[in-house]
Amino acid sequence: MNPRAEASTSAADALTGPGTVHEHITDAIKAPDLVRLDGDVVLARFETMKVYAALGAVRSLLRRGRIVPGQTLIDSSSGIYALALAMACHRYGLRCHIVASTTVDSVMRAQLEILGATVDQMPPSQSLLLDQERRVRHVRRLLADRPDFHWMRQYHDAVHYEGYRECADLVSGALPEGPVTVVGAVGTGASTGGLAQALRASGRSVRLVGVQPFGSVTFGSEQFSDPDAIIAGIGSSIPFRNVRHELYDTVHWLDFRHAMAGAVGLLRQHAVFAGLSTGAAHLVASWEAARDPGRIHLVLGADTGHRYAERVFARHAEAQDMAALRPLTIGALTELRPPWSVMEWAHRAAPAGARCAGESLPGPVPSVELTP
């Protein structure tokens, strides 16, 4: 067979074989790669996990008539949600405006702009609280001038839970029957909470383990300071309504160096290049699995390690040995101490500092049919 004919045959096989030809990149990248790590620890490695949140939210809002094609969607983001929302808008003919954290780098900003999003980036700040408050104030100013914009409110609107039902179906089909422990960075709450809620609704026994940085108000560690870890998107200095505290069985708090040890260890031991929040979850899951053998532990890997190349991976010689690290087991938040603490949350309500005041949602706009 001549080379040209062979190449044509190979191309045809690629289109008609067992794989799927996706209609849009969001379908191709939303599903995780499931990789077995040690024993019963399985990693769900995403390129950009928040595609599930953004795509599910946009589809739901279109179906319910809360947004229409051509409308501008606006939100605040420190990174991967911005890209996920821009891709969802690209797919469904919507405009996108991002109020970006000071931590959004030039590579991310370039991707957003090429996708057609407009970007307002906050000035440099040493305070995550100031950065988040500036972003929210700026969004509100824009909405006052442009009431036709739709504020996605990734931190507060429960519509972001909806996309994780599809993820739960995929995970359930791939994992053996039986109980599972889901381990992941809490962040906005939609990924860990949405996945655990959907798995529980299917009848599976699920233990939910949340990972937090020190300095986050979400699970009551705001009295500590660890800006490197909190900026990674696994915690917050302001309350998030989408964090449903009663869903969580256990909470771990880790500092930056422990998360770094988990990320470098994941690459060294398993050749998986993933982000800082994945590293933190990997370390936690390894410790949890050693205490509960025979139970599947599912680690949520939210993104790849590219954003952390300089801050984490270039410093790999500094990384601690995971096997030597142990948490302090505590019974109350008053006992919380860096660099690593663990507490049985046992479905408690939110601590006082993490409770949200009431806030109304924008009103609906005319209904449309969603184009497949």
State yes or no: pLDDT of 30 exceeds 70.
Answer: yes
Q: Which of 71-75, 127-131, 150-154, 338-342 has the lowest mean pLDDT?
A: 127-131
How large is the angle between the packed helices 50-63 and 164-174, nearest 10 degrees? 130
Q: DSSP characters for 72-85?
A: EEEEEESSHHHHHH
**Cβ atoms of 35 and 175 closer than 8 Å:** no
Q: Which of 10-24, 62-76, 342-356 has the lowest mean pLDDT?
A: 10-24
Tokens 């999003």 correspond to 117
| pTM of this structure | 0.89
Number of other CB atoms surrounding residue 111 within 10 Å: 14
For the chain, percent of residues with pLDDT exceeding 90: 78
SS3 36: strand
Q: What is the DSSP letter of 14?
A: H
What is the per-residue pLDDT across 325-347, written as a single tens digit (0 to 9) for each?
A: 999 999 999 999 999 999 999 99
Q: Which residues contact 252 (CB under 8 A, 6 or more apart)?
A: 209, 210, 211, 212, 280, 284, 327, 340, 341, 342
Please give the pLDDT value at position 89.
Answer: 98
Q: Which residues contact 28 (CB under 8 A, 6 or more apart)?
A: 22
What is the per-residue pLDDT across 185-210, written as a single tens digit (0 to 9) for each?
A: 999 999 999 999 999 999 999 999 99
pLDDT band at 133 (very low <50, low <70, confident <90, very high): confident
Average pLDDT over residues 145-159: 96
